[in-house]
Chain A
Amino acid sequence: MTAPITPPLVRMQSLHKSYGPAIQVLKGLDIEMQPGERLVVIGPSGGGKSTLLRVMMGLEKIDRGSIMFGGKPYISSDGLDKKTKIDTEVRRSIGMVFQHYTLFPHLNVVENLILAPCKVRKERKSDATERAVGLLTRFGLAGKAKAYPSQLSGGQKQRVAIARALMLDPKLMLFDEVTSALDPELVAEVEQVILQLAAQKMPMMIVTHDMWFAKNIASRVIFCAGGVVVEDGPPEQVLGSPKEERTRDFIDRVFHIRQ
């Protein structure tokens, strides 16, 4: 591999995170992500995958370590005081979609989409609404602009959630098990939208249990277990013929192959 000329999009250094003294979730993670990469993180529950995304979004504090985005440090903790320093301006260039949609139930679809642009970027309501309708049309949700979240299917809710995150023009998207709560027949419509974003070169980091999806979307796969990176490589390697014993065990179990 040749050294990249541009700085990495994301550089995590020595991330440590624990819930009390007994439970260490992240044990010194070092991950670099290049611009244009689509990084899929797989691994057993409790292995720190979701925590990793939540830390990147500033939703969880860290005990020690730092994260840089586009060459700028935006999250850091030196481990001395219990404070995690977060640069909210930098963080705003990252969007996140959650497993359980987290739409605002008291607002309709368009209002969900334009709340942040109007309040954070002071965008005019009419401009934001126009962009929102455009995004919804692109995602096959044109007829749902005035609907409330409770009137939507899981797949529709998740597509709205993705559109809501995109309204802020993120430079990186984080997807945290976005299809795990969906009925099987609704998974495809959400994955299609994410594949559509991938085709437009949106950098993304995806935590998923769906190996078919991982294979289709990843430009690189990381296997995370016990709070460390066990294996890191192209999807053909990590999903197809993993080098590490633990990765192999995990892949076998998810694909229900038992010899």
Chain B
Amino acid sequence: MALDFSIILRFQDALLLGLWMTLKLTLICVILGCTFGFLVGLARTSRSLALRAISSVYVEFFRGTPVLIQLFWIFFCLPMILGIELSNLASGVIALTLYMGAITSETFRASLKSVGPEQLDACIALGLPRRNQVTNVILPQAVLRAIPTLLSNCVSLFKESALVSAVGMADLMFVGQNISNNTARPVEVLTIVALIYFVIAFPLTRAVSLIERRILAKLAI
């Protein structure tokens, strides 16, 4: 059977809708996940043992288990526990946010740690109040250092988001699978879907190394 990529054109609109859903989901979870991850990163470096313990358990659990199982768990078990029905979108957002929170918290933790103790010495020697030590010296450096890894985290999330198709969310992957089932042309359809993912992810990964070089050049003392 010869490969025929032209059939894709017939499903252009459906694929675009799926892509839109994927991008929307990724964007929401990037924003929520990074914010949550930042707070968890702070908690993991906090002086309170309880905060450190809780946040560590959360991070290790979500980093050490398959995202697909986390997704199923939230989709099926969470409604049972809470006694409320969760929409596909809601459970997708919760699952991917928790996943993103776990991996970005590690990014933030590492970048917070990379701001050396001598920077704090300098702050104290200049008599900067604690508030300014954090907002003017530690946080800006930590966030700058975190940016390249955060972008990588975003690329990962963008690709992992394909998993939500497993709980019936009409994202790019879900649409692609549907088309491939209906046309019986999985090779062509899934190749094109993969290409769409790639065309979006590739410039981002290139941007990561570019930004990384610039930031590191600037922050190198």
Contacts and interface: CB of A to CB of B under 8 A. Distances in A.
A213 B8 CA distance: 78
Given A120-B128, A148-B218, A164-B126, 14 more contacts: A54-B121, A59-B125, A98-B118, A100-B118, A102-B121, A102-B122, A104-B119, A104-B122, A105-B141, A105-B218, A115-B136, A120-B132, A150-B218, A168-B126
A197 to B, nearest CB: 16
Given A98-B118, A102-B121, A150-B218, A115 B126 contact: yes
B129 interface: yes
Interface of A: 54, 57-59, 88, 91-92, 95-96, 98, 100-106, 115-116, 119-120, 148-150, 157, 164-165, 168
Contacts of A54: 121
Contacts of B124: 57-59
A101 B119 CA distance: 10
Interface in B105-137: 118-119, 121-122, 124-129, 132, 136-137
Nearest to B142: A106
B144 A106 contact: yes
Contacts of A92: 127
A115 B122 CA distance: 12
Nearest to A148: B218
Contacts of A103: 122, 221
B217 interface: yes
Interface residues of B, number: 21
| Centre residue among A57, A58, A150, A164 by max chain B CB count within 10 A | A150
A120 B217 contact: no
Given A98-B118, A105-B141, A115 B219 contact: no
Contact of B127 (A91, A106, A148, A150): A91
A120 B118 contact: no
Contacts of B132: 115, 119-120
B121 A120 contact: no
Given A98-B118, A102-B119, A106-B140, A57 B125 contact: yes
A57 B125 CA distance: 6
A103 B121 CA distance: 11
B126 A105 contact: no
B127 A120 contact: yes
Interface string B51-71: 000000000000000000000
A96 B125 contact: yes
A120 B126 CA distance: 8
